Amino acid sequence: MKKIISHLLTLQTLPVQTPGKDSPEAQALREQIPAHMLDRFDAFALRGKKAVALVQNGVCKGCQIQVPLNVVHSLITGVNTVTCGNCGRYLFLRDEDAVAFRDRNVTAVSVPKPKVPKLAVKSIRPRSNKPRKATSAVAE
């Protein structure tokens, strides 16, 4: 899948030709990309937008929104295509960014437990020593 997205990225950087007349290089790239992905790519191109956005430091460079960590992990593994949840562009993570992301030394932040003050417990004693009257059942 990573190869297909890189083909889309290359296709995106090629100079725009007149509609229907692609260069031989663009035509060769289009043959290697599935039709449903090309449809989405062309829809972005018709609006004058780029269909593939790079992810750098966990941020989609198409819309400047932070990408969830599980999405970045999916990009590192490269098993399936991933789109941005905000702008809808296909996401692409360069190899050097993937290595930098994997090599980050993120240590778990330990938060100390708050100390809860102990409450003073009062002993409960009866109000008086007199025996209480039994309540009678409600008369019908």
101 contacts 94 by C-beta, under 8 angstroms = no
Give domain status of residue 128, yes or no. no
- Measure the CA–CA gap between 104 and 77, rounded to whole angstroms: 17
Q: Give the domain extent around 62.
A: 2-103
Give domain status of residue 114, yes or no. no
| Per-residue pLDDT tens digits of the chain, which is 140 residues long | 778 888 888 888 887 655 556 778 888 888 888 889 889 988 988 888 999 999 988 899 999 999 888 888 888 888 788 899 899 999 998 888 888 777 765 555 566 777 777 766 666 666 666 666 666 665 54
50 contacts 12 by C-beta, under 8 angstroms = yes
Give domain status of residue 43, yes or no. yes
Give domain status of residue 47, yes or no. yes
Give domain status of residue 16, yes or no. yes
pLDDT of the residue at 53: 92
Q: Give the residue among 55, 126, 140, 125 at the shortest CA–CA distance from 89.
A: 55
- Measure the CA–CA gap between 45 and 20, rounded to whole angstroms: 13
Where is 70: in which H helix or E strand? helix 69-77
| Sheet strands (E) in the chain | 52-56, 59-60, 90-92
- Measure the CA–CA gap between 90 and 9, rounded to whole angstroms: 9
Query: Strands 59-60, 90-92: parallel, antiparallel or unpaired by DSSP?
Result: unpaired
Q: Which residues contact 78 (CB under 8 A, 6 or more apart)?
A: 1, 2
Q: What's the number of domains the chain is made of?
A: 1
